Structures are given as C-alpha cells and as structure tokens.
Amino acid sequence: MFSRRNRRPKSAESRPNSPQLIEAWESLDQGDIPGALRSLRAHAEPLPPGEVAVVVARAAREAGFDDLHTAATALAARPDRAQELYSYGYACVERGVSYLAIPALRAALDLAPDSGAALRELVSAYEREGRHPEAADVLGARESALNPWPDRYLLVYNALMAGDLELARRQHALLPDPEDEIWLGAQDRQRHMLERAAAAEQATSLDLHDLRGWQFVMGGTVLGTLSPYGFDAGMTGRFAWLQDSHDLCLRGLLRLRTTLAAGEVRPRSVSLLPGRGSRILGLAAAEVLDLPAVEFAADRQDTVVIAYDLDEVARADQGPETIGQLLERTPGQVLHEHASSWTDRPVVTADSVTLLYQSVTAPWEGQLGQGESGTLERGAPDDRPAEDVAAEIVAADPTPDEGDGGTPADPDDRLADFVAAVRGTWLQGNRTGLRTSGPVRSSRFV
C-alpha cells in the first residue's frame, strides 16, 4: 500500500518544453494561477504526468499549497515511480484539482496493479470529475479481486451514476452487509437509490437524457421544470445562467402543488426559512397552496418548507444550524427548493426542486438590462417588503416559456404521472447532499 512521504528533493521547476504547458507557464508568469489551471484542464491529460508536475509544482508553490508543491516536485524529479505518482495524485485530489490526479493515478496503478490505495484514489478522482463510466470500468476490470466494502460498493455506485442499472443491480446482489458499521449509512443510501430506480423506470425512460428521472434516483428529488433552452445543445434540461422572474417562481409553486397532490401529501402549513429570498417565496407559497405561513421549526410535521436557494439559507443568520436540521427528515415534512445549483451542490438535497442552475439572479436582486447608453447595466435590487414582492409573484403569469422548441413537452399531467409512480419511494431516508450531477450530462461554463 502506498503511503504519503514528506520529501523535498531539489526543485524541478524549470520551464517546460511542451507547447500545451507553455501556455499555463506563461499564465503563471503573469500571476494568473486560475488561468494556468484552466489551461492544464484543457491540455494536460494526454501529457506525461512528470512533465505536467513541473507546472503544477510552480502553481502550488505560488498558491501556498506546500503539500502539493512537495509531491509535484518529487514527481518531476522521479516521474516513473509508483509512490511519487500516487502521492502527487493524492495531493491533487485533496487540493481540488482531480483532473490533474487522474493520469498520475492511472500510471501508478499500471505500475502497481494490486494496490488498493491507488485504485480507490483513482476512483475518487474520477468521481469528483463526474467520470463515473471510467470509474466503473476500472473497478469492473478488477472485479474478482474487489473487497466488498468499499470496492464493490463503489462499483455499484459508479455504475448507477453512469446510468448502467443492469451492472449496478448485478453487483449489488453480490454485496454482503458491511461488517464495519461505518458503511451502514452508505448501504442505506444505495438501497434507496436502487428502490427509487425500480419505481421511476415504470414511468420514465431513465436514459442519459432523462434529467427528472435521474434526479429522483440520485437524491429523491422531484424536478418540477426543465430549461426550455439548449436541451439538444448540451444542457439537457439544466440552466446555465438564468435571470429568474416572478413568472417562473409562480410556475414553480404551481408545479409544487401538482407534485404534492400526485404524491398524496397533505401539508397543513408552509414553513418559512431564514433569508430574504426564501421568506419571499415562502409567503407566496402560502397563498398559492392556501396554507398558513409559520416560522420554521425542525420538529414541525406535515409542513412544506420553502427555500428559494438552499445556499442562501446556509449564508443567513442561523443558517448553518437550520441546514443541519434539514438533513434529517421529520414525518410529513417536504423540503422545496426553487433554484438549486448543479455545479456547486448544496449540502442538503431537497425533496422538490423547480429548476437546476449554474448561475442565477433572483427577481428581487439587481438584474442585468440595457441601460440608457445601450450597454448592459445591473439594475437596483427590489427592496420592498417581502410581503409586497410575494404578492407580485402570486399575481404573475405562470405560462411556460416556449424557449427554442428543443425541450421535450412537459405538461402538468406528465409530472403528475411521474410522481404518482414514485410516491411509494418519495420522502424516504435522509437528505444528504449530492456529490455528482449523475448520468445526465450538461455543459458547464467557467
């Protein structure tokens, strides 16, 4: 098994020769570490890890990441040693640059094919990059030698996240109960995913374009709407940048009402969360659902908890405490989030979500528009009382945006049929945050 070593060989930070790496090096000359990392993401994977490590060592040194600088310098000096490849890959994963870890960890595993540490770290790097098919492949190639926990469990998980239900079910059937109780939570989450998949496939395709189906399988979330733009151009139902509107907020609440009815859930109140956006939307939800609005209490049953964006809730006063309380489910409690980030996922997974975004501006925030000079300008935020903004949402027009015509039709009865099919597995388990966007891919913008 590999271990981490604290070596400090002489510096190998000489200028690289590869044209693909010179661009990153020149970004570092200008003090642009993010630019260098973007260049490495685009070009570095086919190159020998030892050459890439020369650039990474300099970037890590300038960023103050001593562990990564040490590991990258060691690899640049000894590029063909499994230990150095593993230690560098490990440090890259720890520092959030898993894409740089993957080639080094693949090379380490080639040199030490029986190393469980190298295998698991490579799988971890693939997972963090959303490359679940490759993680499943590297585990499947060693199927006969896999330990049940965590290795075969990881094979089931990555097969699921790659959209390969057949492989996931076959491997799950071979997985015994864990001897170490540390894995009991993971076992429970995986069991819920497979149960949700069995329910969802009765009503939907669960193919690699089925965003609603896979959001439900992964986290038990019912996705209310699909983006009407760019479905066939890489977005598959997610939003990239969105200027939200009162109309879309109302549409989301009406879709929530459809979801509750189809799920045979009968709440008695709407619970208001911390944060201006969540309070606005919660007050509007109380009107739309014809329920009293009450302040959030963790032990309140039979209530719909309304968040505009759970990231906003986490930043509010008492937000971290509230988020912790939402992780565990209270009987009859439904957590609805209007706008949920799919690239910077919240630590809590909501039961119902209106839309998935990469960047969003709420209707009451300063939105971009054409100014008097004809240039784009950000307008002033709407500082009116929350009750006034909520009333404007209730009076808005929920007619769906026709978009570019490429998104599949998604009328209310289609959503209702889906929820009716899965309601026996909905609102089960805790609300642990998702670590991946799953089998349905969407274009990311940086």
What CATH number is associated with residue 289? 3.40.50
Whichever domain contains 101, its CATH number is 1.25.40.10
Longest CA–CA separation in the chain, Å: 70
Last residue of some domain: 97, 132, 165?
165
Q: Could you tell me if 71 and 56 are in contact, meaning their C-beta atoms sit under 8 angstroms apart?
A: no
Q: Note whether 34 and 152 are same-domain residues.
A: yes
Answer yes or no: is 196 within a domain: no
Q: Note whether 144 and 232 are same-domain residues.
A: no
Answer yes or no: is 193 within a domain: no
Last residue of some domain: 165, 196, 224?
165
Question: 69 lies in which domain range?
Answer: 19-165
Q: Note whether 237 and 339 are same-domain residues.
A: yes
Answer yes or no: is 334 within a domain: yes
Q: Note whether 222 and 123 are same-domain residues.
A: no
Q: Note whether 215 and 132 are same-domain residues.
A: no
Answer yes or no: is 418 within a domain: yes
Answer yes or no: is 281 within a domain: yes
Of the candidates 101, 130, 132, which has an alpha carbon nearest to the alpha carbon of residue 118? 101
Residue 172, CA distances (Å) to 162, 197, 424 in order: 15, 13, 21
Q: Could you tell me if 103 and 45 are in contact, meaning their C-beta atoms sit under 8 angstroms apart?
A: yes
Q: Note whether 215 and 154 are same-domain residues.
A: no
Backbone angles phi, psi at 103, to 5 degrees: -60, -40
Structure tokens at 2: 């590999």
Last residue of some domain: 165, 197, 220?
165
Q: Could you tell me if 102 and 45 are in contact, meaning their C-beta atoms sit under 8 angstroms apart?
A: yes
Tell the residue number behind the tokens 């997610």, with chain if given.
238
Q: Note whether 370 and 287 are same-domain residues.
A: yes
Please tell me the predicted confidence (pLDDT) of residue 371.
Answer: 66
Answer yes or no: is 63 within a domain: yes
Q: Which residue type does 60 have?
A: A
Answer yes or no: is 194 within a domain: no
DSSP 3-state assignment of 357?
strand
User: For the chain, what is the domain count?
Assistant: 2
Answer yes or no: is 442 within a domain: no
DSSP symbols for 411-427: -HHHHHHHHHHHTTTSS
Predicted confidence pLDDT, tens digits, the chain (446 residues): 343 433 334 344 578 888 889 999 999 999 999 999 999 999 999 999 999 999 999 999 999 999 999 999 999 999 999 999 999 999 999 999 999 999 999 999 999 999 999 999 999 999 999 999 999 999 999 999 999 999 999 999 999 999 999 999 999 999 999 999 999 999 999 999 999 999 999 999 999 999 999 999 999 999 999 999 999 999 999 999 999 999 999 999 999 999 999 999 999 999 999 999 999 999 999 999 999 999 999 999 999 999 999 999 999 999 999 999 999 999 999 999 999 999 999 999 999 999 999 999 999 998 887 666 667 778 889 999 999 999 999 999 999 999 999 999 999 999 999 999 999 999 998 899 999 999 999 998 86
Q: Which residue type does 161 have?
A: M
User: Taking the CB of residue 286, how many other CB atoms lie within 10 A of it?
Assistant: 22
Q: Note whether 292 and 390 are same-domain residues.
A: yes
